[in-house]
Amino acid sequence: MNSNSLVSIDDISRDEIVDLLKQARYFEMHPDQKILDGKVVATLFFEPSTRTRLSFETAVNRLGGRVIGFSDASTTSSSKGETLKDTIKMVSNYVDLIIMRHHLEGAARYATEVTDTPVINAGDGAHQHPSQTMLDLYSIYKTQGTLQNLSITMVGDLKYGRTVHSLLMAMRYFNPTFHFIACEELQMPKEYKDFCDKYNIRYYEHRDFTPEVINQSDILYMTRVQRERFTDIMEYERVKNLYTLRSDMLEGARKNMRVLHPLPRVNEIAYDVDDSPHAYYFEQARNGLYARQAIICKALGIDIPKMEITL
């Protein structure tokens, strides 16, 4: 067990989150450095995710480290029945840091228990994906100049969307107001509404995706509504276009309002939104690089200058 590991956004404190944001800011100003000279990092993607893997590998490369690993478990010994424990123990002999993605929930937590090498969770099934949360927080901070007292509207699949759950939990330190917009089948689960109650976070639930809600938001966090989430296909057909954002819905939006999306999108954001000054989802992905550089250095115990940011 290495205490620098990052498995869940819930494992780190408000101060640690703020420090990571300050360091992400530093890396945005100085993305190329030889901080990881001589370090070898493993990216173990038991489940493929090109987007996340490229982001992490770019982060390591830009800091002068080297990467080994695999991008698909079907080419590795785990497809021959090797346990996760054995794979992690074997790789631990070679590297300074393990970045892993796995289709099973809790896989990263278990990995931290079988090795002393630090582990970063790059997604474990529908469970946790803390670097996504950090890049979301950094994007919100950058676009709003603060994380405090914001009105955040979450749209689409609020039942299974792990990004919205993690973001909700991380925002508890910053006095947010939430609006949850989803159809009956994909509502925000009770445990997260209980979480809001516990931390005195205001939230409002809506069925309809209307300009009235958009107009009182600082952040519009869109997610993908996937067909396979529905038990009733007719229900999917009925709602699939109800949670699509079009540019005409943004006419009365606050000037500072920004649209975020964890990507990839399908049809939940119309292409005409891309040209809107409110669209931020492509820049959001780039922020992932800086957030991950900060996370990698924290996991390796490397001290990085913190830029002053006001929250």
Partner 1 sequence: MKADKKELAVAALRCGTVIDHVPNDVLFKAVKILGIENIKSHVTIGNNLSSKRLGSKGIIKVADVEFAEDVINRIALIAPHAKINIIRDFDVVEKRYVTLPDEIVGIVRCDNPKCITNNEPMRTRFSVIDRDNLTIRCHYCGRTVKSEDAIID
Q: Which residues bind partner 1 (CB under 8 A)?
A: 83-85, 102-107, 109-110, 124-127, 191
Catalytic residue among 22, 25, 127, 129: 129
Direct distance between the N- and C-terminal alpha carbons of the chain, in angstroms, rounded to an integer: 32
Q: Is 286 a catalytic residue?
A: no
* Bridge partners (DSSP) listed for residue 179: 153, 204
Q: Which long-range contacts (CB under 8 A, 24 or more apart) does 208-214 make?
A: 208/181, 208/242, 209/155, 209/181, 209/242, 209/243, 209/245, 209/249, 211/249, 211/250, 211/251, 211/252, 211/253, 213/153, 213/179, 213/181, 214/153, 214/249, 214/250, 214/252, 214/253, 214/257
CA distance 34 to 45: 25
**62 or 102: CB nearest partner 1:** 102
The encoded tokens of residue 51 equal 């987007």
Give CA torsion, residues 47, 9, 4, 74, to 10 deg.
0
Catalytic residue among 80, 190, 198, 255: 80
Q: How far is the CB of 163 from partner 1 (least distance, A)?
A: 15
Residue whose structure tokens are 């950094």: 138
**43 or 128: CB nearest partner 1:** 128
Q: Is 224 a catalytic residue?
A: no
Q: How far is the CB of 75 from partner 1 (least distance, A)?
A: 19
Catalytic residue among 43, 52, 143, 163: 52
Catalytic residue among 14, 50, 51, 85: 51
Q: How far is the CB of 69 from partner 1 (least distance, A)?
A: 20
Q: How far is the CB of 133 from partner 1 (least distance, A)?
A: 15
Catalytic residue among 25, 53, 101, 298: 101
CA distance 109 to 169: 18
Q: How far is the CB of 24 from partner 1 (least distance, A)?
A: 26
The encoded tokens of residue 107 equal 């896989």
Q: How far is the CB of 126 from partner 1 (least distance, A)?
A: 7
Q: Is 103 a catalytic residue?
A: no
- Residues in the chain, total: 311
- Which of these, 112, 108, 122, 111, lies nearest to 288 by C-alpha position? 122
Residues tagged active-site: 51-52, 80, 101, 129
